[in-house]
Amino acid sequence: MRPRALIVDDEAPARAELRYLLEELGQVQVVGEAANGEEALLLLRSLPYDLVLLDIRMPGGSGLEVAAALRDLPYPPKVIFTTAYPDHAVEAFDLAAADYLVKPFDAERLRRALERALEHAGSDDAQAGAAGGAGAGGASNGGAAGRRGDEPAQPEPLARVPVQRDGRTVLVDQSVIVYASAARGYSYLKLADERLLVTFSLNELERRLRGHFFRSHRSYLVNLDHVRELVPDFKGALVLVMNDRQRSQVEVSRRQARELRRRLGV
C-alpha cells in the first residue's frame, strides 16, 4: 500500500494542483485535504498519515504551529512544507521538516522531496546519524543527500557558499563562516551574528571548503580561524568556544580531539 498523504493549504486551486502532481507521480495516495491548521490537526489526530504536505501561512494556525504540534503524536508523519514564502526555511528545518518547497515548483522537484521524506519514513535514528555524516558511504539523510554521494570524489572547491536569502542568492565568503552544523541533509552556516540554511550536506561542505576547516564531530565542521578557547570535558573530549557574537560552543569528539590538538599545536 502506498503511503498515506494529507494536503494542507488554504487555497483550493493550490490543493487541486498539488493533488494532481501527486497522482501523476504515483508515490503516495492522497487520503485527505485540509484548508487550515485547525482542520489539519483534527484529521492528523484522527487518522494515521505517513506524510503531510503543509502550507505555512494559513488561517486557524500556521503550518509551523501544526508541525510543532505533530511532535506530540505517537507516530508523527513526515512533513514537506509547500509555501510561497522562502523566509521560513530555517524554522521549518528546526521542526525536522523533510523538505521545503517554494511555490511554484514542478513535478521533478516534488518527486525529489517525496523521496527524501519517504526513504527514511520509519527511521529517525538513521536520519540523525546521516545528518551528522556518520561514516563515508553510510546511510544518507534524504534523497538529495544520497544523490550527492554519487558526485565526483574531488568536487570543485567553494571559495564562497551560495545561500538563499529573501528570494535572492547571496554568496557567503568561506572566511566569515564560524562553523557549520548538520540539518537533515542540509546544513546551517553560523556567521558572526546570524545562522543561514544551505542546501549542501555537511559531508559535501567538508569536501568542498578549503583552508582551516576541521570536522570536529559528525555534526559539526568548524573554521579553526574562529576558535576562541578549547575547554576539556569530563568524557575526555573537548568543547570549542567560538568567536561569534554568542560565543557558541561546539563539540569535539574524543576521536577527533587528538587530531585537533595536533592541528592547533597544543
Instruction: Dump pLDDT digits (tens) for 53-78.
Output: 999 988 777 889 999 998 888 888 99
Report yes or no on 31 lying in a domain: yes
Q: Cα–Cα distance between 50 and 44 in angstroms, integer?
A: 10
Cα angle 162, 207, 263; round to 5: 115
**Partners of 5 in the beta sheet?**
30, 51
Do the domain assignments include residue 194? Answer: yes
Instruction: Report the distance separating Cα 68 and Cα 94, nearest Å.
Output: 10
Q: Are residues 8 and 86 in the same domain?
A: yes
Tell me, yes or no, whether 27 and 113 share the same domain: yes
Are 12 and 117 contained in the same domain?
A: yes
pTM above 0.95, yes or no: no
The answer to whether 157 touches 210, Cβ cutoff 8 Å, is yes
pLDDT tens string 135-176: 333 333 334 334 444 444 455 677 788 886 665 678 888 999
> Chain-centre distance of CA 69, in angstroms?
19
Residue 110 is which amino acid? L
What stretches of 37-88 adopt beta strand conformation (E)? 51-54, 78-83
**Residue of higher predicted confidence among 16 and 266:** 16
Is 165 contained in some domain? yes
Query: Does residue 144 sit within a domain?
Result: no
| 183 and 118 inside one domain | no
- Full domain range(s) for residue 227: 160-264
Q: What is the pLDDT of residue 165?
A: 67
CA R_g for the chain = 20
| Residues 100 and 164 reside in one and the same domain | no
How many structural domains does the chain have? 2
Whether 147 is covered by a domain: the verdict is no
Residues 95, 39 share a domain: yes
C-alpha cell at 25: 507521480
pLDDT per position as a tens digit, 97-142: 888 998 888 899 999 999 988 875 544 434 434 434 433 333 333 3
On whether residue 171 sits in a domain, the answer given is: yes
pLDDT tens-place string over residues 189-244 = 999 988 888 878 888 888 888 778 999 998 899 999 999 999 987 666 789 999 99
| Sign of the dihedral defined by the CA atoms of residues 89, 72, 143, 33, in that order | negative
CATH of the domain at 63: 3.40.50.2300
Q: Are residues 102 and 188 in the same domain?
A: no
> How far apart (Å, rounded) are the C-alpha atoms in residues 173 and 210?
11
At 21 the pLDDT is: 92
Whether residue 112 is contained in a domain is answered as yes
Helices 12-25 and 107-119, packing angle to 10 deg: 70
